[in-house]
A and B are shown apart, each in its own frame.
Chain A
Amino acid sequence: MKEPLKQVIRNHYDSASLSEDQLAKLQALQRAAAASTPTEATEPAGASPGNPSARRRSTTWRFGMVAAILVFLLAAVGYLSLRRTAEREALVQSIVAEVAANHLKESSQEEPLETLVALRHKLEELPFFLIASEHMPESKWAFSNGKYCSIQGQIAAQLHYAPIDRPENRFTLYQTLCPEMLAGGRAIGDLSEPRILHHAGLELTLWRERDLLLVLAGAESPR
């Protein structure tokens, strides 16, 4: 009886097979090799030289993997960026709240000092050098005194100022090292330009200046 050529060829080869003994020898050969050779992780399907269909699958698989990795990286970068921004903002808000509370409980009854230089000698334990801020020129601000304090658990200084033209208004300028300069410190963001925030009825201005974080707290706008 005639049959399709393909089927006849299949039948021809299907009728041939290895004996149980031959199969056992081949399996034993495999097991011996597996026991003596550490196997490496297989490459993605299709990396082999033989199968064209598998090679096509491999190309698709690789493009898919690359696309998935890119999407994952973009999502990760976006997530980390958002998280860093949120952390920075949380830190700023925490500093502002602490400074505002500190300012409100201070009575500023220290004996006035003549100069900032005198305060530097008084607060010699500070790990940084007190600065006269560019944003608070002597022509507009009168310095009175200062003392140690802490911000976010780090040693800081609080300096009492009053505007020359309104001496009854009390302002406190806090100076401390920028958080990221401390061991394990968190970044606080750029702040190269003063940033104004409000908390507990106070206006607080934050900025960076010569590696220090400065926060000016007062009941009204200093400008």
Chain B
Amino acid sequence: MFSNEEFQRFYRYCLALTRDPDQASDLLHDGLVKFLAKRARVTSEPGAYFRRILRNTFIDDYRAAVHSAGQLSFDENVTPLDVASELETTLVHADTVQRLLAQVGSTDRELLFLWAVEGYTMAEIAELTEVPRGTVLARLHRLKLRLRRLQAGTTVGGGR
């Protein structure tokens, strides 16, 4: 049985995926129904399992364009440590982040959520989202560039 605090966490994850509060609560509800139907089979580490159900439900039912970006290649000149540590030390205004989250797609929002809110490493995020680590780093690098442009006052389109 999930506690209210856990539901709030899952709701925020849904919000990171959908960006819409109503869709987020619908996704949470739909995911819970699926989870409760399947929990007899796998109920260990139920939080991680439930989050996976939420993610799959979102991909199947809520997101129109799936993985449209495909697997990105990572700039060989930028080391993983550069990207992660640079983002760790980046200082931003709250409205810049709101604009960033409004522009980027669900994949990038999920990446930022797992990194900033859940505290996963890049390697763990790659494993959780089932994409190569290089792709995660490439996305993070692209987010960093986008953030830099936003901070410089340049608008960037093309968010999914």
Contacts and interface: CB of A to CB of B under 8 A. Distances in A.
Interface of A: 1-14, 16-18, 22-23, 25-27, 29-31, 33-34, 37-40, 42-54
B44 to A, nearest CB: 4
A6 B91 CA distance: 9
Nearest to B87: A5
B58 interface: no
Interface class of chain B by DSSP: helix
A38 B11 CA distance: 26
B49 A48 contact: yes
B94 A16 contact: no
Interface of B: 1-2, 4, 7-8, 11-12, 15-16, 21, 24-25, 28-29, 32-33, 36-37, 39-49, 51-52, 87-94, 96-98, 101, 112-113, 115-117, 120, 123-124, 127-128, 147
B2 A30 contact: yes
Contacts, number: 145
Given A10-B116, A43-B44, A26 B91 contact: no
A50 B36 contact: no
B116 A51 contact: no
Closest 4 CB pairs of A and B: A50-B48, A43-B44, A48-B45, A9-B116
Contacts of B116: 5-7, 9-10
A184 to B, nearest CB: 45
